[in-house]
Amino acid sequence: MPMAVRQNQAAGHRKGDRVVAGIICASLAAFLFVGQDAGVKWIAPELAIMQILFLRSAFGVVLCLIYFSTLGSFDELWVAQPILMIVRCLINFGAWCMFFTGLKHLPLADALAIFFMFPVVITALSAPVLGEPVGLKRTLAIVAGFIGVLVMLNPTAGIEWPAMLALGAACCWAVVALMTRKLSRTETPMCMLFYTLSTFVALAFAPQFLVWEMPSNEAWMLIPLIAALGVAAQFFIIQAYSITTPSVTAPFEYTAIIWAVILGYFLWGDVPELHALVGGSIIILSGLYIMHRETQVARNKTPEANDDGY
């Protein structure tokens, strides 16, 4: 076999492996995010959202500092793109404030279903903002996943203000995802995570005193767990956006809705209806197709594979 052919095949395998690694990170992040969101929803009747956001983020900063002092290095905190980092942190803060507030008043699965409009925004912005091609077949698969979200949501009444907050959070998160992709060229995932959580602590510090309620023993036990789940989830999603494109990982973040349905049933007695099961099936199938297509294109590099817009 000619050397050039072997090198091309090796490069294709490396790219294919990165695609699979990105998908695994996104799927794991989706699971962890749902665990965090379920914890927030559980203690939301007791504590104000700003207080939850502050305590969760403060514990998260501590976990990050432990990481830097043991497994990582404080040199990672040097930022090459400070303006972009600041803007990302501020938009991210707005996204979480809106989502947690909407989550407090919506069923877990419904809040996530609305939130998962963000991959559509990512797909629309990936080409003009990042210059990353989004092929026709991949776009159709993402749209199919979004249709699955709509099937799960099964809107039968007008959208109320908690749903609008979840929708606003989705738009903000799409911008955050694209900024993460740009920042990943110079910053590490833990660097982005540390500054994100630090920004949350700084912005929520004063407001949370206006609504402060002493947490119960149960809340004090849950808050560190919520923080740990949130830190791990954000690490994995940043890692996913760093090693592959957001439009590739987006369908696998849809799996969060499946976990939300399961947790909603066991924690709040929300019984999944037929539309939830059908929508979840559509989401899973679209994600599996994306994984198959991306791996095939990366490894084969055939003319037929390139008809997808690569």
Length of the chain: 310
Count other C-beta atoms under 10 Å from residue 210's C-beta.
9
Residue 75: exposure state from Cβ atoms within 10 A (0-12, 13-18, ≥19): exposed
Give the C-alpha separation, 49 to 94, whole Å. 12
Predicted TM-score (pTM) of the model is 0.78
Q: In this predicted structure, what is the pLDDT of residue 201? A: 96
Q: In the chain, where are the structural domains located?
A: 16-308
pLDDT, residue 303, reads 44
pLDDT tens digits for 248-259? Answer: 777 788 788 889
What pLDDT digit, counting tens, does each position of 107-138 carry? Answer: 898 888 778 777 777 766 766 666 666 677 77
Tell me how far apart the alpha carbons of residues 129 and 242 are, in angstroms, rounded to a whole number: 16
The residue written with tokens 């740990």 in the block is 228
State residue 299's pLDDT score: 64
CA angle 233, 259, 134 (to 5 degrees): 65
Residues of the chain with pLDDT under 70: 1-17, 123-124, 126-134, 152-159, 246-247, 291, 294-310
CA–CA dist 57, 171 (Å, integer) = 22
What pLDDT, on a 0 to 100 scale, did the predictor assign at position 295? 64
